[in-house]
Structure 1
Amino acid sequence: MWMYLGLLSALFLGLHNLCKKHAVHGNEAFPVLLCTTLSGLLLLAPVYVLSRFLPEHMQQYGFYITEVSWRVHGFIFIKSVIMACSWVLAYQALKHLPITIVTPIRSGGPFFTFIGAIFIYQERPNFWQWIGFFIILLSVFLYAKVGKKEGINFKKNKWIFAIIGATFLGASSGLYDKFLIQHQGLQPQTLQFWFCLYVVLILLGILTITWFPFPQKRSTFIWRWSIPIVGILLQAADYFYFKALQDPEALIMLLSAIKRSQIFIAVIAGGLIFKEKNKRKKLIPLFGILLGVGLILYT
């Protein structure tokens, strides 16, 4: 069951990435990120209020947001810092790079997750899963070759390093999620609500220094319908992902790989919608990533 929940998470993540590309295109990345996160928080706020006033009903429907200790709040805040940094890097990179380059690099996240899952949680992949893992890495390398034809030098372009950093931090957060869900016993909606709240506070602090005091920067911000949709889709993706992690048999390395299936939406539909170059050449490494994911999942 947890694998199917992972696939649902991947579906919403793929749609989320498409809307995110639309939201940040020619726009200020930081305020877009704040607004998307705030949209997610506003979606969860009624759930928190109802949990305080109608706890029995919310428990009955499985959406009750529990009270947590200050110690657990500290754990959630650490996740919020990690993901805030990851999103800041990812949004800036997505603004300057094609989605068909960004998404495959993000697909290299299982590399970091595999290492962490092996050494931290003692998860053990089999021979074919290792083969799939290296096929994914090779496919990401092939995307780098295609990217050079679009004027993107993977060694000199700072946004490439930004998206790699975002990928590493995102993978670290994924490993941390297993600790929060399985070892701290957090419910998905509880983690989502406090996580969103802390990220909003962190981003407000950043924007207070870098954006709010500058009228010229504020004037370049463009509100788009896709901005709140990004936040809503992300909350849906996270909910199914955290529900999958609640299963004691769920392996974080496999969930991380399953989530890579979002590239079907991001690369194919994104290439058609945003009219990006070399779509056919990107199908070869796309197939490689899918093959690698398939070997990880079904062997």
Structure 2
Amino acid sequence: MWMYLGLLAALFLGLHNLCKKHAVQGNEVFPVLLGTITAGFLFIVPFYIGSIFYPDITRELGFYIETIPWTTHGFILIKSMIMASSWILAYQALKHLPLTIVTPIRSAGPFFTFIGAIVIYKEAPNNWQWLGFFMIILSVIMYSQIGKKEGIHFKSNKWIFAIIGATFLGASSGLYDKFLIQGLLLNPQTLQFWFCFYTILILLLILSITWFPYASKRKAFKFRWTIPAVGILLQTADYFYFKALQDPEALIMLLSAIKRSQIIIAVVLGGILFKEKNKRKKLIPLAGIMIGVFLILYS
């Protein structure tokens, strides 16, 4: 069941990436990021209020937000710091690179997760799962070769390094999620609520220095409907992802790889909507990724 929850997470992540590309065009990264996280936070707030005044109903619905100790708050704050750094790098790269290049590089996240899962959690996939995993990784490498034909040289473009850094931090957060969900026994909505809360505080601190004091920057900001859409889609994707992680049998390295099937939405719809190049050639490694996901599910 956890594998199919991972596919649902991938669906909403793919839609989230499309909206994110539209949201950052012509906009400063930090206010867009703050807007998306705030929208996602407001989406969850009713569950927090319901947990206080109507705990029985929210428990029955499966959206109860638990009271947690301060030490657990500290662990969630660490996750917020990791992901805030990852998102800042990713959003900056997204403004300067095609979506059909950014998303495949982000798809290399499972490789970093793979190393951590083997070393930290001693995960042991079967033969079919190994084959599917490496199919995904090899397909991502093929994307890097296609990227060169769009004038994007992976060794000299600083935005490539930004997206690689974002991918590494995102993978680290994924490994940390397993500790938070299975080690600290946090339910998805509790983790999501406090994670958004602390991330908003971090972004407000950054914006108070880089954006709020400058009237010209504030006037240049363009609100788009995709900004709140990004936040809501991300929270929906995270909910299914965290629900999958609650399964004791869930393997984080495979779940991370399954999530990357979001690429089909980025390549097909992103290529059409944003008129990006080499769409047909990108379908070849796309097929490799989908075969890899199928092998994992088949196992």
- If the length of structure 2 is used for normalisation, what is the TM-score? 0.97
Contact 1:100 1:270 in 2 (8 A): yes
Contact 1:143 1:282 in 2 (8 A): yes
Contact 1:15 1:233 in 2 (8 A): yes
Contact 1:6 1:258 in 2 (8 A): yes
Aligned-residue offset at 1:285: 1.6
Distance, in Å, in 2 between the alignment partners of 1:217 and 1:115 is 41
Name the amino acid aligned to 2:27.
Answer: N
Q: Deviations over 1:82-140 (max 9, x none)?
A: 00000101111111111100010011111011111111111012334333333333322
Aligned equivalent of 1:270: 270
Aligned equivalent of 1:30: 30
117-126 or 129-138: bigger deviation? 129-138
Write out aligned runs for 1:15-54 (5 A): 15-54=15-54
1:168 aligns with 2:168: yes
Name the amino acid aligned to 2:296.
Answer: I
Aligned-residue offset at 1:294: 2.8
Contact 1:117 1:175 in 2 (8 A): yes
Name the amino acid aligned to 1:183.
Answer: G
Write out aligned runs for 1:84-95 (5 A): 84-95=84-95
Q: Deviations over 1:11-68 (max 9, x none)?
A: 1111111111111122211110000000011111121112111112111211111100
Name the amino acid aligned to 1:151.
Answer: G
81-90 or 211-220: bigger deviation? 211-220
Distance, in Å, in 1 between the alignment partners of 2:88 and 2:248 is 32
Contact 2:16 2:230 in 1 (8 A): yes
Distance, in Å, in 2 between the alignment partners of 1:268 and 1:56 is 44
Name the amino acid aligned to 1:34.
Answer: L
- The Cα RMSD (Å) is 1.2
Q: How many residues align?
A: 299
Aligned equivalent of 2:110: 110
Name the amino acid aligned to 1:230.
Answer: V
Contact 1:254 1:297 in 2 (8 A): no
Aligned equivalent of 1:6: 6
Contact 2:134 2:292 in 1 (8 A): yes
Aligned equivalent of 1:253: 253
Contact 2:182 2:245 in 1 (8 A): yes
* Helix, strand or coil at the partner of 2:123: coil
Write out aligned runs for 1:64-143 (5 A): 64-143=64-143
Aligned equivalent of 1:280: 280
- If the length of structure 1 is used for normalisation, what is the TM-score? 0.97
Name the amino acid aligned to 1:109.
Answer: G
* Helix, strand or coil at the partner of 2:27: coil
Structure 2 unaligned spans of 5+: none
Contact 2:82 2:170 in 1 (8 A): yes
Contact 2:109 2:167 in 1 (8 A): yes
Aligned-residue offset at 1:200: 0.3
Name the amino acid aligned to 1:53.
Answer: F
Identity %: 74
Distance, in Å, in 1 between the alignment partners of 2:203 and 2:96 is 20
Distance, in Å, in 2 between the alignment partners of 1:134 and 1:11 is 21
Aligned-residue offset at 1:214: 1.7
Distance, in Å, in 2 between the alignment partners of 1:268 and 1:178 is 31
Name the amino acid aligned to 2:271.
Answer: G
Aligned equivalent of 1:150: 150
265-274 or 141-150: bigger deviation? 141-150
212-221 or 180-189: bigger deviation? 212-221
Distance, in Å, in 2 between the alignment partners of 1:159 and 1:292 is 28
Write out aligned runs for 1:213-232 (5 A): 213-232=213-232
Contact 2:129 2:254 in 1 (8 A): no
Distance, in Å, in 1 between the alignment partners of 2:298 and 2:117 is 18
Aligned-residue offset at 1:146: 1.3
Name the amino acid aligned to 1:249.
Answer: E
Distance, in Å, in 2 between the alignment partners of 1:269 and 1:19 is 11
Aligned equivalent of 1:297: 297
123-132 or 6-15: bigger deviation? 123-132
136-145 or 7-16: bigger deviation? 136-145
Aligned-residue offset at 1:288: 2.0
1:179 aligns with 2:179: yes
Distance, in Å, in 2 between the alignment partners of 1:241 and 1:137 is 21
